[in-house]
Every structure is written in C-alpha cells, then in structure tokens.
Amino acid sequence: MKAIHHIVTPLLFCLFSIINTQAQTKIVYQYDIHEEIGPPVSRLTKTAIAEAEKIHAAYILIDMDTYGGLVDAADEIRTALLKTKIPTIVFIRNNAASAGALISIACDSIYMAPGATIGAASVVNQNGELMPEKYQSYMRKKMRATAEQTGRNPLIAEGMTDENLEIDSIKLKGKIITFSTNEAMKYGYCNGEIAKAQDVLAKLSGGPYVIEKHESSLVESLVLWLVHPAVSGILLLLIFGGIYFEFKAPGTFLPIGLSVVAALMYFAPLYLEGLAANWEILMFAVGLILIIIEIFVTPGSIVIGAAGILFTISGLALALVRNIGFNFDYVPSGALAFAFLLVTVAMAMPLIFIVAFGKTIFTSPAFKRMSDVGEMKQSKGFSIRDHSLQKLVGQTGIAVTNLRPAGRVEIDGEQHDSISDSGFIEIGSEVKVLRVQSKYLTVVKTSEV
C-alpha cells in the first residue's frame, strides 16, 4: 500500500503542477503590420483586437515595419488601440514612419530594434510632396492628443509633424523629428531595445507568457486576392463579356448571371477595402440600366447609350482609386488614367472578340443548345409556337434602327425586334432573317450572306 502511495503521490503532484502552470500562462496576442497603412490594416487591427478580447489575452503585440500610409486608416487603428482595455505593445522592427508613428504612439509600450526609427509624420501625397496646411494641422492635433493619452511628451509628437515648431535641445525650426532607438529611449518614446518581437516577453512581469499569432481568415485572404489588379482585370472581362453574350442570346440568363456574379466579386472587396464608395457602385448600376434602355427600349438613341457607357466605365474605374468624392489628392500620379484605361480595354475586348469570332461562336451547336434552354419544343409536348415569326426565316427586310446588336427591322411593312448576328448593322441596311430566337429575329446583312 505504501508503495502505491509513493508512486501515486508524485504523479498527482506533477499533474497538478502542469494544470496550475497552464492555468497561470498568459497570452500575448501578436499581429504584424509590415505593409502600407490602409483599410486592410485597419480591418486587420479590429479583427485582431476582437480576437484578443475574446480569448482574454493579457497583452496585444504589434510587430511593425512600415513607411506609413493613409491618415484616415491610421486614425481608425489609433482609435481602436486606445479604446481596448488590453495593454498594447508595439515592436518597431525597422521603420515606424508617418502613419506608423501615430499608431506606435497610440500603444501603451514601445520597443525598438537596434537601428530602428520612429517619426517623420508630416502628411504627404503619393509623390512625397507635402500636403496643404489643413492636412498637417489635422495630423499635428492627432499626434498631440494621442501622446497626451498615452503619457508621452505631446510637443515631441507635434514635432514629428510640424517643421516650424522649436523644442529646446530636441528640435530646430525647419526640421521634422525622427528618433533613432537610443534617442527614442532618451526622450520617453521607447521603453527599451530588443532584437526581435519575442524578446518582449522577458520585459513583462507577472508571467509566464506565451505568444499567440494572429492567422488571417479565409475571407481576409480572399479579399486580398480579389483586389489584385490581374484578378480585377479578369472580373471586368467577365462583366462585359456576360453583358455582350446576353444581348446576343436574350433569355439565356447564364451569361448575364455570370456578369452579375463577377460584378459582385469586383465591387465587394473594393468596398471592404474602402475604395469603392456607394455612389460609385450606384453610378455603375445606372450606367447598365441606361445601356439596356438604349438597346431594348430606345434603340438608336445615341445620347442614352453614350451616357450609359460613360457611367459604367466611370463607376468601375473610380472604384479602383482612393478618391474622396471628386478629391484626388491621395490618388497616385497616373493611377486614375490607368484605371480608366484598364476598364475601357476590358469593355472593348469582348466586343472585339465577338466581331472576330462571333459568327463561329453563335452558330456553334454548343451555343445553340445554351440559347435554346427555354424554348418550348413540340417534341417535348409543347404546341404553342409563333408561326408568324417562323415564316420570316430566309426573308429580307430593312433595318429601321441601328442594331448594336439589338434593334428593329421592317419586313413586309411590319416591324420586328431583332438581333444582329454580324456585329453592328447601320439603320437602312438590307438584312436577311437567319432564325427565330425566343421572340427575336436573328438577322445578318444580306451583303455578308
């Protein structure tokens, strides 16, 4: 019995020790900011803070290396860090410039690697030029208010933005403050020098601690993938390609359905990234409506069609750049022109493809099967059929509107809704009916038969 006692007691002691140690181990929740400050980083910060609060983390640790970014996104991050009740720590791996400096100052503790820097928080545009005074004034006040809230010298925070400010023995007029690691420690803007983020654990009391790193969710990864320029270009091709193909085969619904899905995939991530505004999405929708009206309701009305094309292109292009209304101060030089060029090319490509290969595609058995999905065939038990249209197959008529590709043609004094099988057909051209497709006549110029 004593032998059993001597074996069981140490085992129980070890078990309780392990349980007690695990219970006392505290979590330091870490996420990284190694890119330009923008909406993705703002969303990442909010997600990371929410997760840290959910698991009752003892600290939030940011591993930072950034040259800055957007002021509005940095302000959102700053506000989120100041509001959380969990103590926040930032480790500056190399740079915490501009917006990165504001975020760093919002943290309760700052640690820096040897050779790292913090500061230079003047607001500049994408070309590195100083923005007007109203932007500098806003940033100065944000820097000062943040430093006051985290117990740091507010004058130094202002000095990182205001070149006209003088601070005895710290800053001369005409200079912007950028601290090295040693300088930041000297003036209370760094709590200590460490080599890597994990070394923070040795600086914390009340441990033991373990670092748990934030893992990006599938949604976050998907959003970043969808906003890649190459993916956006493919989605634009699908949007316009689906619209063109639906006009060629009305009632098919597969092409237009693909176009709608592509539009959702195009706008949704841009909206989450803070690029696509509500009015830009609305502009795109209005443009599509105007194009549909021009083709099916008032064919030949060039003004409505042109307005529709302009609205559609503008909505898609403006969603790609970081404009604020019609203020393009934060848009990189050439970015707006590139966005319009990308959308215009994407709009033209399906049309060029259809003109070049349309006759082969639209007369292929596969396309005919797709476009006849909703046809009520007599062999399947349906007997209702518009024989008045069927008898027009093979006859000739005159285009009474432009067909691009939809419009109207006149045959024996009667007008019929029609779709061109050979691209644009000018008003007044002689056409021949190839087939009946739903309630439309598919026609071609007689000169091309």
- 368-402: pLDDT as tens digits: 555 544 444 444 444 444 557 888 888 999 998 88
Domain limits of the chain?
24-215, 219-369, 378-448
**Alpha helices per DSSP H over 249-364:** 254-272, 278-292, 302-318, 335-362
Instruction: Quickly count: other Cβ atoms within 10 Å of residue 438's Cβ.
Output: 18
The C-alpha R_g of the chain, in whole angstroms, comes to 33
Amino acid at 446: T
Q: Can 24-215 and 378-448 be said to share one CATH topology?
A: no
Classify residue 174 as exposed, middle or buried by CB count within 10 Å of its CB (0-12, 13-18, 19+). exposed
Q: With bands split at pLDDT 50, 70 and 90, how would you rate the model's confidence at 52? A: very high
CA-to-CA distance for 349 and 344, rounded, in angstroms?
9
Give the pLDDT confidence of 301-349 residue by residue, as tens digits: 678 878 988 999 999 999 888 787 887 776 766 778 888 988 888 888 8
pLDDT value for 360: 61
**Alpha helices per DSSP H over 323-406:** 335-362, 365-371, 387-390
**Alpha helices per DSSP H over 84-192:** 99-105, 133-149, 154-159, 181-186
pLDDT value for 376: 43
Task: Among 3.90.1150.10, 3.40.50.20, 2.40.50.140, 3.90.226.10, name the CATH number for the domain at 24-215.
Answer: 3.90.226.10
CA-to-CA distance for 334 and 285, rounded, in angstroms?
26
Under DSSP, is residue 60 helix (H, G, I), strand (E, B) or coil? strand
Rounded to the nearest 10°, the torsion over CA 111, 114, 116, 119 is 60
pLDDT value for 34: 93
Q: What pTM did the predictor assign?
A: 0.64
Give the pLDDT confidence of 263-299 residue by residue, as tens digits: 999 998 888 777 788 999 999 999 888 877 876 677 6
CATH second-level architecture of 378-448?
Answer: Beta Barrel (2.40)
